[in-house]
Amino acid sequence: MKQFILALMLLATTALNSAAQTVYKTDQSGTLVQQQTIHTEEQAIGSAQLNGETFKDLQGNTYPVYVTAKGRKVIIKKAKSGNHYKVYLDQADL
Domain boundaries, the chain: 39-94
C-alpha count within 13 angstroms, C-beta hemisphere, residue 53? 13
pLDDT of the residue at 56: 93
pLDDT for 27-83, tens place per residue? 788 887 776 666 788 888 888 899 999 999 999 999 999 999 889 999 999 888 888
**How distant, in Å, are the alpha carbons of 22, 31, 33, 35, 36 from that of 28?**
20, 7, 10, 14, 18
